Amino acid sequence: MLLTLIVKNFTLVEYLEIDFSKGMTALTGETGAGKSLVVDALSMALGDRADTEQIRSTAERAEVSAVFDVSKVPHAKKWLSSYDFDATDDECVLRRVLTKEGRSRGHINGQLATMQQLREFGETLIDIHNQHEHQSLLRRETHCYILDNFAACLNLTKKTQEFFYQWISAQKKLTRLESMSAEIVASRELLSFQAEELDELGISENELESLEQKQVVLSNAESIITDSRSLLQICSEEDHFNLEKALNSSLQILQKIPTKPAALEEAERLLVSAQIEIQEAGREIQQHLNNFNAEPEALKKIEARLSEVYQLARKYKVSPEKLYLKNKELKDALKDLSISHDEEILLRKQTIELHQDYLTAAQQLTKKRSFAAKKLAAAIQEQLELLSMSGAQFITNLTPLANDKFGAHGQENIEFLISANPGEPAKALTRVASGGELSRISLAIQVIAAKNSSIPTLVFDEVDVGIGGATADIVGRMLRLLGHRGQVLCITHQPQVAAQAHNHMLVSKNTEKNITYSNITTLSGTEIIHEIARMLGGTNITTTTLSHAKEMIESNKEI
């Protein structure tokens, strides 16, 4: 619950520190005393839109801090932990700074926080009801939230929404894939044909180079054989002269020279080596002649294969040596299309499963709503009777959607209907003619919504506008009872409401040296009696109004 609100340079405040207590606290004051100060300051601390006009005219920036006791608010502590904010202490501080340049900074427990985080965390701690809430109560979305909160199924509502959006997203993806399926099938057939064609060719990475080399050799087979025989004759077979005989003659001459110089010794060694090399060359040439054939049929086969390679290379617009890479590229593309096909099958399965998950959650939601709708209507109607609308009939209407229609919030539309007078048909709240009736209906709904809220601090900002007398007394009793379960801050101009409070604060304005200040002070004892008397009789307080005020306060202590 809210412990302390600290306001610096905000509107007409220079510095103000307000300590709040448990139970119902009434904030009252003269007209124009700035009773909305607390609501505006809290809204700013909770991340709502802030206006630079709210900065005190003599200051460059405004600052608002709100200290909350989260020791008994587990969902608030869980939120802090999930966002890695320091949550070791039972106290949590929300702080907001606004400069005249329009810059705004938020903090949670001293750590920087976004406005969205301030709003999200604030929703776990405080709920503000105001007279403008009449407008939101006219929207069906609000009716849905109130019913689901009353039925304790907000988590199921969120789950239903998640399934719905996941299903719709999967359905859209599947539709896109199905629209592309004809193109995918055609592409897959073409790629399969092309890959099979290249598979039949079976070209390997270095095969083209080898084929071209063999083609050159076989194309020149006759000249190679002729030249090889000529070489063999020069090396060893020519009768008149050959290299081997010449080397033998040279070696015989060197061997006859007695005491040869070193140079001749080296020459002899080289000639012996040359003789060996010539003999080896001759054997190689002879072996080549023995094994080498012109093979015209082999040449035809090689030329035919090369022709096929060149032809397919032209067809697929790649160089012949990269044809094997084209085959790999086609197979990779075919694999990707096969994966897309598998994904389509998987997506279709997921879409069916998500649709079923949505239907299951939505049906559970319908069941819970149907059960809670009558109880909610009865509870609100009970409050309406207390608020002098005993003839009214309140209905929580659930209208099923058509079979082929689905909604993110479930399978039905939810709308609050009211028949203000016996015999009249129930109408939508938007068609309620009387502003006073709408105020009382709104208050009855807000009280029931607050009773079922897990929020520890509730703020009611002039929700009693348009009512008075015995009805205002009933409103005060409602708010006082709510104060028993937590903390209720009530900004009111009704003495019957203020007299029901456990605590009382006075909002006032004063002027010093042509500078206006707003202030909030905690009242006690006779101060409370005088303030209630002022609210009853205006500035002219008599013993009668004082006595009446005291009687009102005393009569409520047992509630």
- pLDDT of 324-359, one tens digit each? 777 777 777 766 565 456 667 888 888 899 999 999
Q: Which of 136-145, 302-311, 399-408, 487-496 has the lowest mean pLDDT?
A: 302-311
Q: Find tokens 């705004």 and name the residue.
A: 104
Contacts 24+ apart (CB under 8 A), 356-359: 357/163, 357/167, 358/160, 358/163, 358/164, 358/167, 358/406
Nearest-Å Rg of the Cα atoms of the chain is 48
Amino acid letter at 382? E
Supply the pLDDT for residue 414.
Answer: 92
Give the number of other CB atoms < 10 A from CB of residue 371: 11
User: And the tokens for 33?
Assistant: 């005393």
Q: Which of 83-87, 134-138, 231-235, 424-428 has the lowest mean pLDDT?
A: 134-138
Question: What residue spans of 89-139 are helical by DSSP H?
Answer: 115-123, 133-136
Band (pLDDT 50/70/90 cuts) for residue 164 is very high
Is residue 430 within 8 A of residue 136, CB to CB? The reply is no
Reported as a single tens digit per residue, the pLDDT across 242-257 is 777 777 777 777 777 8
What b/e sequence results for 471-488 when a residue is b if at least 16 CB atoms lie within 10 Å of its CB, and e otherwise? bbbbbbbbbbebbeebbb
* Better-scored residue on pLDDT, 545 or 178: 545
Q: Find tokens 């997506």 and name the residue.
A: 347
Q: Is 177 exposed, middle or buried (0-12, 13-18, 19+ CB in 10 A)?
A: middle
CA dihedral 490, 491, 493, 495 (to 10 degrees): 30
Provide the phi-psi class of 128: left if phi over 0, else alpha when psi is between -120 and 50, else beta.
beta
Contacts 24+ apart (CB under 8 A), 517-524: 517/12, 517/13, 517/14, 518/11, 518/12, 518/13, 518/16, 518/33, 518/34, 518/37, 519/13, 519/16, 520/16, 520/18, 520/27, 520/37, 520/38, 522/19
Q: Which of 517, 556, 463, 554 is nearest to 10 (CA)?
A: 517
Query: Is the pLDDT score of 295 beyond 70?
Result: no
**Mean pLDDT calculated for residue range 166-183:** 73
**Mean pLDDT calculated for residue range 399-418:** 86
Band (pLDDT 50/70/90 cuts) for residue 267 is confident
Reported as a single tens digit per residue, the pLDDT across 507-518 is 888 887 777 888
Supply the pLDDT for residue 319.
Answer: 76
Reported as a single tens digit per residue, the pLDDT across 101-154 is 889 999 998 889 999 999 888 888 888 777 655 556 777 888 898 899 889 898
User: And the tokens for 208?
Assistant: 């083209």
Q: Give me the helix-helix angle, 296-315 and 154-201, nearest 10°.
A: 150
Q: DSSP per residue over 433-471, as a string?
A: --HHHHHHHHHHHHHHHHHT---SEEEEESTTTT--HHH
Supply the pLDDT for residue 366.
Answer: 93
Supply the pLDDT for residue 176.
Answer: 67
Q: Find tokens 């080399």 and name the residue.
A: 213
Q: What is the sign, positive or negative, of the torsion defined by CA atoms of 477, 479, 483, 488?
A: negative
How far is the C-alpha of 434 from the C-alpha of 419, rounded, in Å? Answer: 12
Q: Is 46 exposed, middle or buried (0-12, 13-18, 19+ CB in 10 A)?
A: buried
Residue ranges per domain, the chain?
186-336
Candidate ranges 133-147, 185-199, 329-343, 380-394; pick with highest mean pLDDT? 380-394
Distance of CA 505 to the CA centre of its chain: 43
User: And the tokens for 254?
Assistant: 């060197």
How far is the C-alpha of 533 from the C-alpha of 62, rounded, in Å? Answer: 35
Supply the pLDDT for residue 107.
Answer: 92
**The pTM is what?**
0.61
How far is the C-alpha of 341 from the C-alpha of 350, rounded, in Å? Answer: 14
Q: Which of 317, 326, 342 is nearest to 194 (CA)?
A: 326
Reported as a single tens digit per residue, the pLDDT across 421-462 is 777 888 887 777 566 677 678 778 878 877 777 788 888 887
Q: Which of 230-239, 255-264, 360-369 has the lowest mean pLDDT?
A: 230-239
* Better-scored residue on pLDDT, 103 or 323: 103
Is residue 125 within 8 A of residue 76, CB to CB? The reply is yes
DSSP 34: -
Is residue 235 within 8 A of residue 227, CB to CB? The reply is no
Band (pLDDT 50/70/90 cuts) for residue 363 is very high
Supply the pLDDT for residue 249.
Answer: 75
How far is the C-alpha of 429 from the C-alpha of 436, rounded, in Å? Answer: 13
Q: Which of 7, 38, 166, 28 is nearest to 493 (CA)?
A: 28
DSSP 55: B
